[in-house]
Amino acid sequence: MDTAGNTANDHKVIVITGAGAGIGRVTARRLLGDGHSVVLAGRRRESLAETADGSPGATVAEADVTSAESVRALFGLVRERFGRVDVLFNNAGVFGPAASVDEVGDEDWREVLDTNVTGSLNCAREAARMMKEQEPRGGRIINNGSVSAHAPRPSSVAYTVSKHAVSGLTASMNLDLRGYGIACTQIDVGNAATAMTAGFGANARQADGSVRPEPTIDAVHVADTIAHIVSLPTDVNVPTVTVMAREMPFAGRG
């Protein structure tokens, strides 16, 4: 048993944002299969219900991460139903349209930063407040970063800036929350095959200006990695982890 009173394989209450599709959906189904109670958060109830697929462990909760009020309501529901939260997977995010710094529009910039950065902060803030107050105290927050936090794709200024900000958020959280039994992770994913990344498998723009296909991996491997981190006691931290297609041109992208 760890300092927060959690065993490695116990039942946990887990909140996943962006749970209606992609990595969020695959991860939710994996964690539901492991026997956890999973709160599926997102903007479209129909998509969330598809993720739940009738699982008795799933709770569907409509929420807009860009709205602090909506996020407070989400964690109010979690508090009322479960009395605690053990894990937050801060997964909601958008790419935004391809644009360089001189091309990005005002609305596109705001949408990406509001969703990827402010949304992550809104959810982490409410989760951390609950984790600090609950008994036993503590928990785990996993932020979905990106390999773009380390090496950008061409014409991705808004997305790249947002993921650098997520790196700063995760580092600050680890420093500020470690004394409260809260472990924080950034998972950087490269070319997991989802609807959001569908173009990479066929026509990804490269740093030299060419366009060519890139290898992808099944998102289940990302879910497996998250499930392992969730299974760890909270006195074990994984500050950063990268899961990517072996032959994607990440190392030499720049």
State the catalytic residues: 159
Residues forming a β-bridge with 184 = 141
Burial class of residue 212, CB neighbours in 10 A (0-12, 13-18, 19+): exposed
Phi and psi at residue 89, in whole multiples of 5°? -105, 105
Rounded Cα distance between 3 and 233, Å, is 9
Q: Which residues contact 193 (CB under 8 A, 6 or more apart)?
A: 201, 216, 217, 218, 219
Burial class of residue 240, CB neighbours in 10 A (0-12, 13-18, 19+): middle
* Among 47, 32, 46, 160, CA closest to 89: 32
* CA angle (129 as vertex; 124, 132 as ends), nearest 5: 115
